[in-house]
Chain A
């Protein structure tokens, strides 16, 4: 390994926060996200030969992190109760915050709470599409479902978030 080892260590250092954040959004539990993110880098190291130079390393790592998180679903179910108590509304002291996008921290906290409450399959699709900008086809491919199923899950996920974030009674009136 040697030089390759050091180079990969540098990539891990540069991308650790992004990959950890993707993992945390997918599994919503800090300890599990830590394990998922570490495993994602281990998988990336083993699959480095498949990495195409024309793609961004961060994009490739996103895919691996999402895929790794999906394989941890069962384990996540066992820790869900604890996760809801320990969920993550501690803005990073020196990092990027939603305020830069014109969104208040309180509004984002309520959104993150609503996302956490979404069922795993719905949250995965919403995060991939609306947070990270994946296409329906990419999501379908990664999840092993049809494009139609991906669209249905997205529709249901967004509608659930809308109901959670705004009083739905006003629509019924």
Chain B
């Protein structure tokens, strides 16, 4: 493999067609069987990748219904539901704080009453 062949082998993955290599390198390809073979491989790769666009995979059964359910659900997206679970709302935090305050107050009152009733 001469330096030109090596350089073309390095450049080929970055171009869409041999012509994009420029006139000098493209001219070399027309006279070099090794480079023609390498160019043919990339041409085949491009054709096969392009053909993938025509390959359509069927969506899972019930796909449309699932999407419409997600749209109708006010919580909607899965991520939103997960976020809601991880981050409590202000109302939840307020309720928890109120509950904690009530428990603490009741505990304090009970301790005070017990001390008042205790024999001296």
Interface on A for B, CB 8 Å cutoff? 1, 5, 8-9, 12-13, 16-21, 24-25, 30, 34-35, 37-39, 41-42, 45, 88, 91-92, 95-98, 100-103, 107-108, 111-112, 126, 130-133, 151, 154-156, 158-159, 161-162, 165-166, 171-172
Contacts and interface: CB of A to CB of B under 8 A. Distances in A.
A130 B64 contact: no
B109 to A, nearest CB: 50
A12 B67 contact: yes
B92 to A, nearest CB: 25
Nearest to A90: B57
B76 interface: yes
Given A130-B49, A162-B45, A108 B67 contact: no
B60 interface: yes
Nearest to B37: A170
Given A39-B70, A39-B77, A100-B54, 10 more contacts: A16-B59, A21-B55, A42-B70, A92-B55, A95-B55, A130-B50, A133-B53, A158-B45, A171-B9, A172-B1
B66 interface: yes
A111 B48 contact: yes
Given A34-B59, A39-B78, A101 B68 contact: no
B9 A5 contact: no
A101 B76 contact: no
Q: Residue among B58, B64, B67, B77 with the most chain A CB within 10 A?
A: B67
21 contacts: A1-B72, A9-B64, A12-B64, A16-B63, A30-B60, A34-B59, A42-B67, A91-B55, A95-B55, A96-B55, A98-B52, A98-B54, A98-B55, A101-B50, A102-B47, A108-B51, A108-B52, A130-B46, A131-B52, A162-B41, A162-B42
B102 interface: no
B71 interface: yes
Contacts of A17: 56-59
B54 A101 contact: yes
**Most central of B50, B54, B55, B66 by chain A CB within 10 Å:** B55
Contacts of A131: 49-50, 52-53
Contact of B63 (A37, A102, A171): A37
Given A12-B68, A42-B77, A101-B47, A92 B57 contact: yes
Contacts of A111: 45, 48-49, 52
A92 B58 contact: yes
Contacts of A45: 71
A171 to B, nearest CB: 6
Nearest to A41: B67
